[in-house]
Structure 1
């Protein structure tokens, strides 16, 4: 995608480039900063939300750069329909191009100059299907978090009355009705009424989460990419769908290591004076997707003891030298690289067996 942004040779031998328009998105008013074909700032303009597309429709083909933020994928799709090239840039990398005081015009200038520099890997524009998948995962995550918060809330309140329950939704759903019926546990009528309402909420959240899980299994069952991802150790329906939603078609990465770096699974460097120092992982990118992948890798590592396939032998050797947690992260790094090959190159996971097997 970035190749289209670089200057192109004309038949006369001179170099020409497209104009770059940096847009600072907002809810109502958009601020634009324009860099001409020679790379010089030429204009800055303020447009309302309703005027933006009409203004761009009157312009010749140009490069429109925006930060990858809320509603940016919607605007990117609409602007691409007008014939313009759209570049979405990660907001954390655009920040380095900001100078002077922070205001909307300076933000738009930083976006345009970051696009002009061409060193930042752009964010792929999501299709409506990809946005639907991402929305599904976010809603499921919200329901799961609400249920966990409710469980911890009720357990904490019961502990104040001397009733201690084990962790987990099953424990609370099974024992809470009995606590409400027990007249000798010291709970007041007010507390019983409050707990009854919380039990209704817990049941409703559990049923809603089951619906999301059921729909997730249906999607994975009929999606060819997720079906191939399921063959990877530690990849269940949730991890497969999360990795597909985050990675897309994988074409934005040149290799699997780039995908691992984007998800924050590579060591953080603090090197100077020719001395290389590697610290913990960078933890960049989507924290929830990374945590799902880590959980899947941990489940695999729990079951690698005694296995002789190359992957198990490799990760067991790391566990012996570096410990369990580092082995989990190393395995997550390798599994993500495998997932990138499966998604970007449309390959199928075929585990390599030992020669003596």
Structure 2
């Protein structure tokens, strides 16, 4: 084991696969490891290069192995896949990771800190509760519509429906249906309270981050987008320009070019869907504000006035689009 220079580690929930080679590329070790033996195994090894696919729990293992003195490189699974030979299994996956991590043109994912992962969890949990809130509201509206009870779209409309449910004198609802709808109303109120609590925590995290507060100065950027961006991008220097960042988010046109003819389509949507939704909503919000007030309008923003949403999403200058002003 003293001659191992590079290791491909295929992580999982319980069983890990290790593929190690020496400086000449010869296989030195190929074995499985139980989860409880992973750290003790790497403690006995001299410092080496460890490649891991950027997937669930990869940032945790990256921090743990770096603490032991190893150099860890995380790679997108899509970039590792071309190195898999024939059958796909843990052994060939680890071998592919070991080969991919040594490629000079490979793109790596910076490891996130514990604080960054915690902030991202805040955003993901809040987003989950918002989706659940939408589902509960739709259920309340649909169930009451079965009894001929409807209300206007919006927050006030839902409150009107809940007032009907709470009114026991209203005989349009059977008692069984009223009980079910009252339970949905209680769940809706609990979800709203939890979302507000997460909003407060996101704002507190935003105020504690100097980088997030600097991003907040950009037109259209608020605490939600600023904190999500700081938590998602471990090192902004990994991008050479704003256009590289736009390509990473997935806000650049898809290319289907050949023979010197450039063919651009809709946006690629290859990056983080959550971040992309924040940027898109922010661009639309700022355009609407500028259209109403007409202040501080640049030529790039003025050209977006008369385009609809699908055309805006296909814009060829995504780096100029401001981001969403969050809560």
Is the shorter-chain TM-score for this pair beyond 0.5, marking a shared fold?
yes
Aligned residues: 320
Partner in structure 2 of residue 133 of structure 1: 119
CA apart distance, 1:30: 0.5
CA apart distance, 1:192: 0.6
1:110 matched to 2:96: yes
Distance 1:167 1:120, change over 3 A: farther
Separation in 2 of the partners of 1:204 and 1:308? 40
Partner in structure 2 of residue 209 of structure 1: 195
CA apart distance, 1:40: 3.7
8 Å Cα contact 1:232/1:335 also seen in 2 = no
Distance 1:105 1:169, change over 3 A: farther
Secondary structure at 1:51's aligned position in 2?
A: helix
Separation in 1 of the partners of 2:233 and 2:152? 37
CA RMSD for the aligned pairs? 2.3
Q: 2:32 is matched with which residue: 37, 46, 61?
A: 46
Partner in structure 2 of residue 334 of structure 1: 319
Separation in 2 of the partners of 1:203 and 1:186? 23
8 Å Cα contact 2:246/2:318 also seen in 1 = yes
8 Å Cα contact 2:206/2:227 also seen in 1 = yes
CA apart distance, 1:89: 0.5
Separation in 2 of the partners of 1:274 and 1:334? 25
> Normalized against structure 1, the TM-score is what?
0.83
1:297 matched to 2:283: yes
Per-residue CA deviation, residues 11-65 of structure 1 (Å, 9 max, x unaligned), is xxxxxx9821001101111001123212344431111111111111111111000
Separation in 2 of the partners of 1:256 and 1:275? 24
CA apart distance, 1:165: 2.6
Larger RCO, structures 1/2 (Cα 8 Å, 6+ apart): 2
CA apart distance, 1:160: 1.6
CA apart distance, 1:224: 1.6
CA apart distance, 1:119: 2.1
8 Å Cα contact 1:267/1:281 also seen in 2 = yes
Secondary structure at 2:303's aligned position in 1?
A: helix
CA apart distance, 1:191: 0.5
Distance 1:208 1:332, change over 3 A: farther
> Normalized against structure 2, the TM-score is what?
0.90
Q: Which runs of 5+ in 2 are unaligned?
A: none
Partner in structure 2 of residue 25 of structure 1: 11
1:35 matched to 2:21: yes
Secondary structure at 1:192's aligned position in 2?
A: helix
Distance 1:261 1:72, change over 3 A: same
Separation in 1 of the partners of 2:51 and 2:246? 25
Separation in 2 of the partners of 1:195 and 1:148? 15
